[in-house]
Amino acid sequence: MILTYVTRENCLILAVTSANTDLATSDALKLAKEVDPAGQRTIGVITKLDLMDEGTDAREILENRLLPLRRGTGERMMDVQFLSAHCLGYIGVVNRSQKDIDGRKDIPSALEAERRFFFSHPSYR
């Protein structure tokens, strides 16, 4: 059923994968690569960055160096305006935990906690 939608050329693919799993074997990224080999319609979302093993990070994938999405070629790849307008790439997120939800942590507080995580983690500053 999913293939009915993601094979359409006008469909953006949101490939969501947990950072505390092996990203190279992600079913979401694997399916996206099958139907969108150049990564032109795929946005990668890497969740649970705060749950990765100590000493590891997802910086290479977030910088689009590992399993790249929306690859381009030539001198346009050095054009920052072109890249920001045409490269979808990845976004990393830190979601509320079940404990946060049970404790009724609101969305603004969760967003602030996510911001603090990214500003305090040495790999993401």
Q: What residue segments make up the domains of the chain, in order of their start?
A: 2-93
Query: Could you tell me which of 6, 35, 20 has the C-alpha nearest to residue 93?
Result: 20
56-92 pLDDT tens trace: 899 998 988 888 887 555 455 445 555 555 567 899 9
pLDDT for the residue 77: 47
Q: Which of 33-37, 41-45, 87-91 has the lowest mean pLDDT?
A: 87-91
Would you say the pTM of this structure is higher than 0.85?
Answer: no
Q: Which of 12-16, 84-88, 96-100 has the lowest mean pLDDT?
A: 84-88
- Phi, psi of 96, rounded to the nearest 5 degrees: -70, 140
CA distance 12 to 47: 18
CATH number for the domain whose boundaries are 2-93: 3.40.50.300
